[in-house]
Chains A and B, each alone.
Chain A
Amino acid sequence: ETGVTQSPTHLIKTRGQQVTLRCSSQSGHNTVSWYQQALGQGPQFIFQYYREEENGRGNFPPRFSGLQFPNYSSELNVNALELDDSALYLCASSLASSPGELFFGEGSRLTVL
């Protein structure tokens, strides 16, 4: 059974740039959630995708957007990067039947200069 994989693991961008982060969900999982974790804080919910549609969104501006593909993999896009976007971005997959049991990847560490 393949776990959740994320890429890239680390990246550095400058203010105003755009970034795309990728996530492959665990085999058989049809739901993907994205979380942002700033240093010293707990993860914060960004949004969730189910059947290629956004299925709930946290308190993040529209420049945070996402996609889910037919194979359940997902992308997180962030436009017009700001310094405060520097964080660990975590992807988690789950079954729709067990919405609270999330399986997280190792995350993508984004640094915005």
Chain B
Amino acid sequence: DAKTTQPTSMDCAEGRAANLPCNHSTISGNEYVYWYRQIHSQGPQYIIHGLKNNETNEMASLIITEDRKSSTLILPHATLRDTAVYYCIVRVDGNNRLAFGKGNQVVVIP
């Protein structure tokens, strides 16, 4: 699976949109981009995934660049409960495992 690069940590203001970047420059055509988050002392939580089109659900939006080498997860109105480690993962279609890295520690500040 292609490797992803995320910031180690970032702060976001409560009530503002949080834009979480991820680079996956070696991604290939059959690889999906997945986002998970892990709130302290809990198991990871699925957020969203996409292949090449932008995606939106009740939790977040996923913007994938046209060349697919990077993506941004957008939390539209960050709340204190969004403080978590966010993982950007690339998964080959047909592969049954997720390769979590160290993720991006996001802290939402009042």
Chain B residues contacting A43 (CB-CB under 8 Å) are 44, 98, 100
Checking B45, B49, B101 against A104 with a beta-carbon cut-off of 8 angstroms, the contacting residue is B45
Q: Is A61 an interface residue (CB 8 A)?
A: no
Q: How far is the CB of B24 from chain A (nearest CB, A)?
A: 14
> Contact residue range for chain A?
20 to 34
Q: How far is the CB of B3 from chain A (nearest CB, A)?
A: 13
B91 (CB) vs chain A CBs: closest residue: A100
Within 8 A of A (CB), among B21-71: 32, 34, 36, 41-46, 49
Produce 1/0 per residue, A27-63, CB < 8 A to B.
0000101010000111111001010000110100000
Q: How many residues on B have C-beta within 8 angstroms of the other chain's C-beta atoms? A: 22
Most chain A CB within a 10 A radius of its CB, from B43, B44, B95, B101: B43
Within 8 A of A (CB), among B75-110: 85, 87, 91, 95-103
Q: Is A70 an interface residue (CB 8 A)?
A: no
Q: Could you tell me if B102 and A41 are in contact, using CB atoms closer than 8 angstroms? A: yes
Q: Could you tell me if B44 and A33 are in contact, using CB atoms closer than 8 angstroms? A: no
Chain B residues contacting A106 (CB-CB under 8 Å) are 41-43
Pairs A-B, 8 closest by C-beta atoms:
A104-B43, A42-B100, A45-B97, A56-B96, A43-B100, A104-B44, A100-B91, A48-B96
